Each structure stands twice: as structure tokens, then as C-alpha cells.
Structure 1
Amino acid sequence: MQEAAEVPAIDLPTLQQWTETIGRAQQMMLEFWVNQAKDAQPPADQWSMSLWADMSSLWTIDGSRIADRQAQLLTQSLDLWNRFLSPGTDAGSPADKDRRFKGDAWRSQPLFDLIRQSYLLVSDHLLANIDEMEGLDPAQRERLRFATRAIIEAISPSNFAFTNPEVIERTIETGGQNLVAGLEHMLTDLSRGQLTQTRADAFELGRNIASTPGKVVFETELFQLIQYNPTTEEVFRKPLLIFPPWINRFYILDLSPEKSFIRWAVEQGHTVFIVSWKSADETLKDVTAEDYVRAQVSAIDTVRDVLGVKSVNTIGYCVAGTTLAMTLAWLTAQGQAQKVESATYFTAQVDFEDAGDLKIFVDDDQLALVSALSQGKGYLDGRFMTATFNLLRGQDLIWSYVVNNYLLGKEYTPFDLLYWNSDFTNLPARWHREYLADLYRDNKLMRGEISIAGTPIRLGDVMTPSYVQAGREDHIAPARSVWKMMEAMKAPMRFLLAGSGHIAGVVNPPSSGKYQYWTFDGKAASLDEFIEKASETQGSWWPDWMEWIRPHAGKLVPATGARIPGGNPKYPAIEDAPGRYVTMR
């Protein structure tokens, strides 16, 4: 095997030449932004037109502030160059923690260290410009910040072969075979219309992912209902019914066996049911939010009938948690709240005023784009939503794969979570538009402006005992937004703040020993007060939830008869879990 080639050292004259070049590049970047805003013509698509309007005002709001920022950038740039040109000067900085530049060559080779730190310096200034601009409304500022951050991530020197020392070294080492392999990966992704993040052939539904044994015992045109086999001799009388989000596949809660919440809940003695939503096609073009509420009520009534019980415990994840709150409000209005013993919410929101980065995509122009993308089909291609969520964390979910798999030519690592992330689901177009407009944009649920089957629903009337879980680093359903559920309902509620984000904060089994969570048994008036008074516990929060739900689960009964999927003659097994709906595109 060939030894890895070293990137040649840079002498002082060469370094000085590069210093001047990078300085000019910095100035060009700033001039480019100014000229784009002042001179460019509006682009054709509607969302970009809105963004262009924001950018065109950015540089005309306060010219003195722009000049101050440019002067500050020049001063810091000179300081950076002097540190590199002065022997023995420490060139370290907080930028050393950036994962894009973790390779030793980014620091050991002066040229690439200068490229790295210059890029980060300019990036910080571009973002700071937006934060300091006056005259922007919050929506404009967020759109500008998002677009600027996306551009900054895209032009990182780590993303290009000739400015990434790791790629240069690997190209020399492999004789360019890494670029050939990377080209093959890229062409494959272009043909699929989707970025590959993991080896698809490493997983098979029902074998090593979504493999908890069970049966489909009921189905409609919108969902299948799966009941799982008990693994204990006795089970709690009151079953657990899980509603996963229909924007993703249900098996986020049934990944590999060691990560599966479903398998773990079964092992704790719960009779577990879960809804597997159908990926939308033309037949679901007229589905609305009301249909999903009715579907949840149907699943609740079916589980009650299967087991002959009066009430069930429920879990709603993300958007399905939002809908679960709507379902409970509707059942309350109908005098049927007793059908649900308890509700658990995984990273769910009911007040969308502070709903985070996704609000960038819910103005009128974005809604028009969604309509255009689904025109004539009645559904929105799930790859659009996958790309949107990836873009929210572009550095981790897009550009890291461009570098590793396109430039370095590495093979994909098997990872069940990324397999699930790439397994997209189509969305009913009418429902999706209503969801974005009514909830994210207009916040109608909190305003009491939503009716189900002609009945107005009010969250403040819901008295179902509830467990509310949020993720401290969640960028899809921010903890501050999830907390507002504590203020929206008068029910007895427990709030738990988990470490990590929207997925890892939820899927964190006790066996992993990862992360932590915060709880407070008193009454906090705000999230800030909760955080101030909460106690931190290391590890998974699942056992805390188990202790909370135990009083709601009822007495232990034998795991026989209807507790075994298909054991109720009225609901014979239709097929093995995970069912066919989860395989439909």
C-alpha cells in the first residue's frame, strides 16, 4: 500500500502571496453580496422573489453600519494574517472545533489553515451583518439568515476538491480512484433524485429493522393498525396506542432491536398498538386534518374493541401529537374524553408562534410552491420534504455526504436511522397546505379557530393527564415552542426536557447510556424557570415515562386471548408486521 503523500510545506513568499489572494477573495465576497442586492433582477420563482426583496433592502438600511462591519472585518483579517506571518504566534481559535476541518492537515499546513480561518471569519461577518440590520421584520430576518447560512455552508472550502487537503491527499493516494467512485455515487443519486446517506441494501424491513413481531389487525384506506406480540406472561390492562407522524415511516420507533421503543415498551408489559400511515397517492388527494382526527378516533375505538377495554393510553409524535391534542379536544367536546386514559407527546407543538426554522417555509410564496409541486397529482412527493428537513441541517445531512461519498469516494456506512430518514413518504397535498397555513402560519389551533365535523375545538377544555417531552437541541419543534403546550391545556401535566434533538432526543434507549434529561416536580411558570429549577439525570428518559404511565396502565392481566394479535376472532390477523403500507411509495 502506498504511503499517504504529504502536502508540500509553504514558504514565506508563497504564504504572503496567498495572504493577498485570500484578502482579495474576502473583499470580492462582500462586494458580491452588495452588488447582488443592488443590481440583480428579481428571480423567477416566488419564494426566491420574496428573499430577493429582503436582500435588496439589506444593504440600503444603514450604510454606516455596513461600513463599520467592513472595517471590522479588515481589522480582524489583518490580525489573522499577522498571526500566520509571525513565527511562534499561536494560530489557534474556536474554529478548531468545527467538524468540517477536523483533519490535521487543516492546521499543520499553513496555507489550508489560513483558508479555513479566513472562510470562517468571513462567514461570521456575513451572519453578523444580518443580525445587526435594522428595519427587517422577524420573518425577513429569519429568511435572510437561513439563506445566508445555506450559502455559507455550500461554499465551505471543505466541499471542494482543490481546497480540501484531505481530498488532495486521498486523490494522490488512490490515483484518483476516489473521484471515480464519488462520481458513480453522485450519478446514482441524480438518477434517484435523492441524496444517499447510508447503504440501502444493509437493511430489510421485518428482518433487522421494524422487526418487532406483531400482526396487522385492522386497516383503512389511510392507515394500518399493528398489534405486537406480548413477551411477558402478564400485561397491563390498558393498552398503549402510538400515533407516529405521517410525514415519516412509523418505524422510527422500531429501528434496530436495541433502539426500538416499541420492543422496549412491550418488554415493560404494555400491549402495544401502532398506526402505520399510508403514503399518499391520488386516492388521498382530498384528505384533510379532519380525516386524520377521525383516523385517530377510529384507531382508539378499534383498540378498545379488540381488547374489550374502556380506555387506552396514547402517544403522539410530532405532527401526530398535534393532531392527538386536536383529537382529545374533539372527544372532550363530544363528551367522550373518557376513551383516552392518558396522552404522551413526543416533541409536539400546539402553539406555532415560535415554531423554529420550519416557519421559514410557510409564507404565501412557499405555499404556492407546494401547490405547484403537487399540481395534477394530489400529493406532495416525499423527497421534497426530505430535502427540506435535510436543508435545515445542511452541514450534517448534505455537505458531509458530499465530502465523504463524492469527494473522498468512501462507501456508505450502514446506519438504521439514516435508512429511515431516506425512506420518504408522500403527503396529501390538500392536508399539507392546510397544515402549513392554518397551524404554522395562522396559529389557528391556539386561537380556537379550528372545527372538526362542525364542532369548534378548544385545547383549554382538555383534562386528559399528559406527559410532554421536548428536546433541548430540537430545531424542528423547539423546546420553547413545545413548552407552550403546558400553557394551552389545563390537564395534569408533566414536562420533561431531554438532551439532543427531534430524533435522538426521543429514540434514546436505556441500554445506550447516552444523553440526559431534566425534570422538575413543582410548577414552573415558564421554560426558563423550569430549566433553572430542574434536576439533571444522566441517561435515557424512558424509565421516567414508565414510572409516570404505570398508574394509568391498570392492573396486570394474563397475556392471552385478544392480547395476542389475531386472538380476537372479530379482528383476525391480516398480515405480519410491519405490514405492506410501510413499503408503499
Structure 2
Amino acid sequence: MAGGASDLAPGKRDRRFTDPAWSENPLLRRLVQLYLAAGRTAEELVADAGLEARDRRRVEFLVENLTEALAPSNVPLLNPSSAKAAIDTAGLSLVRGAGQLARDLVSAPRIPEMVDGSGFAVGENIATTPGAVVLRTEVLELIQYRPQTETVSEVPVLVVPPTINKFYAIDLAPGRSLVEHIVREGRQLFVISWRNPDARHADWGFDTYVRSILDALDAIEEITGTDRTMLGGICSGGILATITSAHLAAIDRQDRLAGLFLAVTVIDTTDAGTAGALVDRRTAEAAKRRSRRTGYLDGRSLAEVFAWLRPGDLVWNYWVNNYLLGKRPPAFDILFWNSDTTRMTAALHADFVDMSLDNQLADPGTLEVLGTPIDLSRVTVDAYIAAGVADHITPWESCYRTTTLLGGESRFVLSTSGHIAALVNPPGNPKASYRVNDTNPPESSAWLAGAEVRQGTWWSDLTEWLSARCGGTRPAPDHPGSDTRPVVGDAPGTYVHEK
């Protein structure tokens, strides 16, 4: 290889070495080949080591991070694009990059800035679907979206968002909003916006959040005059929605639910990807102690952890752009949302950690919430479960295992996207597709082998599923709220603005 006989080259999708100099300059070409060969050797050594699944994921995580960090494209001036930028700007690109690096190191998350958020404003060009806040408590605001059709389905829909980010991942820009899509399909839609907690709210745990979802269901039933609601949840919000469903089943009130839909939600934490493999009891207890001291877990800490799960795309890509080229990161609505993190109360953090480590939701009766044992097999309403095939936070195979835990009929849908892109999947993208299978075999690999690929977005599939379970239609309400539940403000509310 050192003599130049190797034909080893970067893959066509490897953006690190697209500059022609990496292939045309003999020295740079040999350097890239040596780097690629070393990385391939490291991967083969791990694959041949015969490690247990958990240990293998940990070693793979370490090897991937070391390999990505050592890429020659990360070195100032050695990177041809960096050298050209320095020449073109008389060194100002490196000066700007050094300034950005210093600013990023000052505060968490200590990773390169991923988005230029200066052009985004929540309520102005982000989270703009018309609606009103019809319930405000210490824990949440409940948003009722204004109908955009003459008639609406009898059964309303309630969506529970994540607890570590703000709700508007499902209501980004017009045309890229799941909220907008559901409303335009004739649904009565309600979405929770969680308060951004601080140290005063350290004791809010599963009981508090499930009780708050029940409060939201009470308000929806009162406003709409119906006795059933379709309950949905996303990521950690999906866990809370599932627990709520099991609690209602335990007290014989599952009749309040028309169904359950979950997106990018892991319930069974057995071998739940790299993130799960990196956490053991010692590190978990240390993390819980830290959040107890402050009263909360800072969402920026999680954002940093999640970034290192995909170091090439979420760290070193921006290292080159921001520091070596001295450019600003792109303005992208998904990344703006991702940077708008929230805190998680210490009690809720501890509850989630314990649930994950002990896999409590997969073991009936192990977890108690609001005084009732949680047994997911008693949740017999139909369920819709969506996941992303490229999801690095909630692996789709782990999401699939929910089909084996719930007691009703489940439909599993697999999008081509990652964690958040799976949610922002509007119609009109000619490259979009998803997989479906009318059966749910025990193993995810068997499901995938028998799945059918359909063109378009899984949003359309969800629409059909909801239509079959949300009853007939009725005239759309003239205004949000009711006499007993008056409007307290316009969407997107006030809690979404809390920092």
C-alpha cells in the first residue's frame, strides 16, 4: 500500500474525501488508504473477537469514535478544503474557526454547533399550526388545534411528546408538520406541551406525568363531549403514553382509549442499541446522583451523548465545517429543534433509568404507577408502532419488540429515516418509502424479511389506520375549548418558550 499499489478508496457516500486532492495528490491518496485500511482492520478485529453483544457494542462505539477522530480530513491545512479556505481568506477562516471552537467549549454541550438558529422563531416560522391552549397546569399546557376541514372525526387524538425536548418536532415548518397533516385529514387533535422543569420540580416522576396525561384526557373528553380518545406518544412520551394505557387497563378504564400509537419508542430495553450498552448500574447510579444534586438532568448533556453515538455525522462533520473552514453551520429546522433542549426532573430521570436497567415494562407487575401494577399485556386496544430504520437512539429492532408486549393487535411500520427524520416525513418526497407487514412474527428479522416496501410516507398509512378507529364524522367545532374549559392562550403556548 505504501508503495502505491493499493486500489483502496473511500466509498462514494463518504463526504470526508470528496475534494479531488484526496485522490489526485499521491501523498494524500496514500494517507487516506492507510487510514481506511487501519479502520477496516480495527473493525475486523472486533468482529472476530467473539464478544458478547453488550461488550461488542461498547468496543464498536470506542473503535468508531477513535477511527472518526483520527480521520486525516479532521486536520487543519492537511484537509485540502481547509488549506484552500485559509489561502483564499488569508487565514481568516482558521481565525473564525478558532473563535467558534472557543465559544463551543465554554458551555454544554461541548460539541460543534450544529445549526444556525438565528433565522428561526417558535410561533413565527416554527410551530405555527393554528390552535389554542385549553388547559394549563403546573406540569403541562394542552393545545387544541383548530380544524381545517368542515367535518372532523368523532374520536379526538392526543399526542404525548418527549420529555427531554420540546413538542414541536411534530410541528415544524408548514408542509413539514405532522400536526398540520393530521388536522388537514379531519382529526380533532390535541398535543401536550410539557413545562421545562427546574430544581423546584425535582420530585415529579412517573406518577406526576401519568396523572397529567389523565388530566389532559379529562379535559379532552369535556371539550369534545366524547368518551374515547386515541392516545399517541413519541420517544419518552411514548413510554409515558404506554404506561398510562396500562394504568387505565389496571383500573378497568381502558374504554377511554380508542387505540394507541407510538413513534420511535423503546419499551423493551433488552439489547437496546449502543446507548443501552454504554450504561451499567454504576454509571446509572452516578448519573442519578448528579441529577439529584441539581434537581434535574440538563437536556444538553443528553444531546452531547447522542451526538457521540453518530460522531461522523454529528461531531466531525461540523468540526470541519465550523473550525477548519470557518463557516457557520446550516440553518435547518430539525437541528434547531434538536438544539432547543429541556431539562428532565431528577425523579423522572431516576424512574426512566430504573425502568430501563431492570426492563420493568417487559416484566408484568414490576413497575407500579399511581398505585397500580403495570402489565402491558392488559392493553388490548389496537396499536400502531412506527420506527426509523436508521435510528441511532431508539433502534427499530427494539421498537418492534413492543408488538410482543401489548395484548391487542399491533401494526408495525418501518420508515427509511432516522430518529427525528422519521417524524418529519411529509408527503411529496419521491425518495420516501416505508415497510409494512400484515403479520408480526416474534423476531424483527423475520418481520423485515416478509415486509413489503411501499413508496411515500408512513403518514399516509397512519391516516388510514386512524380513519378506521376514530369513529364517524361530525361538524367541526366553531372554536377551541368549551364553556368549562375556556381558551387560556394561543398556540404554541408559553411553556414552549421557557429556557
Interval of TM-score (by shorter of Structure 1 and Structure 2): over 0.9
Q: Tell me whether 1:273 sits opposite 2:165 in the alignment.
A: no
Distance 2:326 2:430 in 1: 33
Distance 2:292 2:178 in 1: 38
The alpha carbon displacement at 1:92 in A equals 4.7
Q: Identify which of 40, 43, 51 aligns with 1:127.
A: 43
Deviates more, 1:376-385 or 1:334-343: 376-385
Distance 2:137 2:290 in 1: 27
1:543 counterpart letter in structure 2: S
Distance 1:314 1:513 in 2: 30
Question: What's the counterpart of residue 24 of structure 2?
Answer: 108
Question: What's the counterpart of residue 209 of structure 2?
Answer: 292
Question: What's the counterpart of residue 457 of structure 1?
Answer: 374
Distance 1:226 1:115 in 2: 56
The alpha carbon displacement at 1:242 in A equals 0.6
Secondary structure at the counterpart of residue 162 of structure 1: coil
Question: What's the counterpart of residue 73 of structure 2?
Answer: 158
Structure with the larger helix share: 1
Secondary structure at the counterpart of residue 381 of structure 2: coil
Question: What's the counterpart of residue 144 of structure 2?
Answer: 227
Secondary structure at the counterpart of residue 435 of structure 2: strand
1:349-498 pair list within 5 angstroms: 349-438=266-355, 440-448=356-364, 449-498=366-415
Q: Identify which of 529, 537, 545 aligns with 2:446.
A: 529
Question: What's the counterpart of residue 141 of structure 1?
Answer: 56
Distance 1:524 1:131 in 2: 28
The alpha carbon displacement at 1:184 in A equals 2.5
Question: What's the counterpart of residue 180 of structure 1?
Answer: 95
8 Å CA contact 2:415–2:422 kept in 1: the answer is yes
Question: What's the counterpart of residue 14 of structure 2?
Answer: 98
Question: What's the counterpart of residue 582 of structure 1?
Answer: 496
Q: Identify which of 81, 101, 105 aligns with 2:2.
A: 81
Moved over 6 A (4+): none
Distance 1:157 1:582 in 2: 41
Distance 1:184 1:211 in 2: 35
Task: Flag the structure with larger Rg.
Answer: 1
Secondary structure at the counterpart of residue 77 of structure 2: helix
Deviates more, 1:91-100 or 1:277-286: 91-100
Distance 1:553 1:406 in 2: 51
Distance 1:95 1:523 in 2: 35
Distance 1:370 1:185 in 2: 29
Unaligned segments of structure 1, at least 5 residues: 1-79
Q: Deviations over 1:296-331 (max 9, x none)?
A: 222112111111110011211111112212111110
Q: How much identity, in percent, do the aligned residues show?
A: 35
Q: Tell me whether 1:511 sits opposite 2:428 in the alignment.
A: yes
1:231-380 pair list within 5 angstroms: 231-380=148-297
8 Å CA contact 2:267–2:399 kept in 1: the answer is yes
The alpha carbon displacement at 1:550 in A equals 0.4
Deviates more, 1:93-102 or 1:143-152: 93-102
Distance 2:270 2:187 in 1: 36
Distance 1:167 1:388 in 2: 27
Distance 1:472 1:456 in 2: 32
8 Å CA contact 1:469–1:495 kept in 2: the answer is yes
Q: Deviations over 1:322-368 (max 9, x none)?
A: 22121111101101001110111102122110211111342123223
The alpha carbon displacement at 1:498 in A equals 1.2
Secondary structure at the counterpart of residue 181 of structure 1: helix
Q: Deviations over 1:441-494 (max 9, x none)?
A: 111111121111222111111101111112112221112111111111220221
Question: What's the counterpart of residue 35 of structure 1?
Answer: none
Distance 1:157 1:523 in 2: 45
8 Å CA contact 1:513–1:540 kept in 2: the answer is no
Distance 2:277 2:295 in 1: 24
Deviates more, 1:515-524 or 1:101-110: 515-524
TM-score, length-scaled by structure 2? 0.95
2:493 counterpart letter in structure 1: G
1:441 counterpart letter in structure 2: L
Distance 2:468 2:292 in 1: 49
Distance 1:266 1:513 in 2: 23
8 Å CA contact 1:95–1:120 kept in 2: the answer is no
1:144 counterpart letter in structure 2: V
Distance 1:303 1:111 in 2: 67
The alpha carbon displacement at 1:155 in A equals 2.0
Secondary structure at the counterpart of residue 175 of structure 2: helix
Distance 2:343 2:477 in 1: 38
Indicate the structure whose relative CO is greater, using CA pairs within 8 Å and at least 6 residues apart. Answer: 2
Secondary structure at the counterpart of residue 2 of structure 2: helix
2:496 counterpart letter in structure 1: V
Distance 2:490 2:186 in 1: 21
Compared with structure 1, are the counterparts of its residues 377 and 403 closer, same or farther at alpha carbon in structure 2 (3 Å cutoff)?
same
The alpha carbon displacement at 1:282 in A equals 1.1
Compared with structure 1, are the counterparts of its residues 154 and 94 closer, same or farther at alpha carbon in structure 2 (3 Å cutoff)?
closer
Q: Deviations over 1:497-540 (max 9, x none)?
A: 11122111222000233321111224534322222222111121
Secondary structure at the counterpart of residue 341 of structure 1: strand
1:81 counterpart letter in structure 2: A
Secondary structure at the counterpart of residue 133 of structure 2: strand
The alpha carbon displacement at 1:220 in A equals 1.5
Q: Deviations over 1:57-116 (max 9, x none)?
A: xxxxxxxxxxxxxxxxxxxxxxx223x1x5xxx735354542211222111111111111
Unaligned segments of structure 2, at least 5 residues: none
Distance 1:277 1:100 in 2: 39
Distance 1:182 1:513 in 2: 37
Root-mean-square deviation (CA, aligned residues, Å) is: 1.7
Secondary structure at the counterpart of residue 273 of structure 1: strand
Distance 1:351 1:486 in 2: 10
Distance 1:155 1:288 in 2: 42
Distance 2:230 2:13 in 1: 44
2:485 counterpart letter in structure 1: Y
1:425 counterpart letter in structure 2: T
Secondary structure at the counterpart of residue 114 of structure 1: helix
Question: What's the counterpart of residue 69 of structure 1?
Answer: none
Q: Tell me whether 1:171 sits opposite 2:86 in the alignment.
A: yes
